[in-house]
A and B are shown apart, each in its own frame.
Chain A
Amino acid sequence: MKRSVGCGVLILLLAACTAAPKRPTVQKPSADTVEGLAAAIAADAERSDRESDSKVRDELASQASRDAEACLTRDPQAAACLYGHAVALGLEAKAHPTRAGESLKNMLEALTSAEAADPNYDHAGPARVRALVLVRAPGWPLGPGDGDAGLVAARRAVVLQPQYPPNLLALAEALAKTGDANGARETYGRARDAAQALPSTAGRDDWLRAADQGLQHK
């Protein structure tokens, strides 16, 4: 399954949003099932990650939101729909930065529900995405960002799926954010090793690049 992460980032006097790099190239299945709708949301998120035109990002956020609603209508308790709803809210935060605070708050609530439904969904995606939101979002009192809580969530994702490189990358980022430079360096190295052990894909290349960038910045 392919997933992408939207993450709000307010700035001192500014407001904007960024997204984590994730695996590209999703074949969009028929959007009349939970799986199809979840995949459609993921595809919108991946496109949004690479899209520089704010109007297109706005359209993608709207489409993802409609798909999430449709998914939740079909199965309100499905981890795929709850997680997709969270991703759609992340896209909304990205498209409408001045409303990012509320969107991110709702996103975290949706991730809580998704994690309760299936903590291993998308390789511990709910905990991983929660970690990234908490680490990257503006902190108190401007937004929900909380480096300490982000670190806890990242550790949880790694415990659940220790060999999945994005979980290790999220943990490394959380360690760096909370001041553990040595831990961050070691974890970026683990992420790199884990990615290298996987077959060559575009996703693997993204993860290797992210690990290398993290190692260079430490």
Chain B
Amino acid sequence: MVTLLAAAVATLVFCAPGYPGGTGDAQPLVDQFASAAATAAGWPPGSLKAVYDPTEEGGLAKLGSPEAALAFVPYPFFVEHAAQLHLTPLVQANMVGTGPEERWTLVAKVGRVTGPASMSGYTIVSVAGYAPDFVRHWALAAWPLPPDVKIEATGQILSALRKVASGEKVAALLDQTQAAALPTLPFATDLKPVTQSPPLPVALIAVVDSRLPEARVRALQAALLKMGHEAGGADTLAALRLQGFVLPRLPDRPATPP
């Protein structure tokens, strides 16, 4: 698959597994973003459309369709599926309140987890649990998990943290926003952060399988990088909790500890 015709309509697929919201809810916002981005890039009107899917399965299906030219996905999704989908990073999201990178924090019940080996038989729940490679080899690269540790996805992180606090053999891997809010929980004193990832990208826009002509890719990249600095663009981004985009700064794959 090489390119779409320059005048063809490209689709930007937003996919955020584990985070709240449905396709219908998101559509007006992603439509607005696509329109603003295309205009800023000098693309013909209507040449970029957007779709949102809140599930990994649905997002993969949409990204597999020939018209899917761009993906806006969290970094765990990128790690898990970049090779399969032939994703090439275009820009890195700069999030309000977080920035372009974030650290992930593993949280356990106070006194229960003393090191990686003590997690034998545990289940790690996370909004990124759909991406076990990300959990094991990126977020917890320096914390080699025993092979019997299960990794599960959840959109109900509060329920998961209640299980952690109650003493079940459950730990929670939290994104930076969640970790920062831990002290607000009434049972926060029962929880303890046990390890933290290095800074990792939050989310990326990537080109799917080289399905766009290079000139359009470069025009879009330049426009996205400027978007956060222009009044209209900043307003559009704010609705998505974005403050702008930066050039991709992807970390090298961490070495697996012995």
Contact = CB atoms under 8 A, between A and B. Distances in A.
A14 B241 contact: yes
Given A11-B54, A14-B241, A148-B158, A143 B95 contact: no
Interface stretch (B21-29, B132-140, B249-257): B21-29
B158 A11 contact: no
Interface residues of A, number: 27
B208 to A, nearest CB: 18
A97 B241 CA distance: 11
Interface residues of B, number: 36
Contact of B159 (A138, A141, A148): A148
A32 B22 CA distance: 38
| A11, A16, A145, most chain B CB atoms within 10 A | A11
Contacts of B71: none
A138 B178 contact: no
Given A141-B177, A148-B162, A10 B95 contact: no
Contacts of A17: 25
B156 interface: yes
A18 B25 contact: yes
A54 B28 CA distance: 9
Contacts of A14: 14, 16, 21, 25-26, 29-30, 52, 239-241
Nearest to A18: B25
A132 to B, nearest CB: 14
B20 to A, nearest CB: 4
B220 interface: no
B21 A12 contact: yes
A10 B22 CA distance: 9
B20 A142 contact: yes
Contact of B29 (A15, A138, A179): A15
Given A138-B21, A142-B177, A13 B203 contact: yes
A18 B159 CA distance: 23
A137 B20 CA distance: 7
A140 B157 contact: yes
